[in-house]
Amino acid sequence: MEPYKCLFPSEIVKNIKTPLFLVHPAYDFWQIRNILVPQGSDPDGHWQRYRLNIRNCNANMIDKLESK
């Protein structure tokens, strides 16, 4: 396994045997702003409002983000 994958819950959960409660960690916010919708890929600023606050996204936009 590549070390960077240790940050992803889908990888961590495979090896946990005890009860687990998952929350959305702080790095999700960073990923949305810098990886899923980086500023350079949105030169016209269509996603600017959504990059800064995912709560501004509608269900269709969330589906697009999750499919990446």
Taking only the tens place, the pLDDT of each residue in 17-67 is 888 776 766 556 777 777 767 777 788 887 788 777 778 888 888 777 676
Q: Note the pTM of the prediction, 2 decimals.
A: 0.39
- Is pLDDT above 80 for 2? no
Q: What is the pLDDT of residue 31?
A: 74
Angle, CA 14 vertex, CA 11 and CA 15 arms, to 5°: 105
Mean pLDDT score, 6-17: 78
What residues contact residue 47 under an 8 Å CB cut-off, 6+ apart? 37
More confident residue, 15 or 26: 15
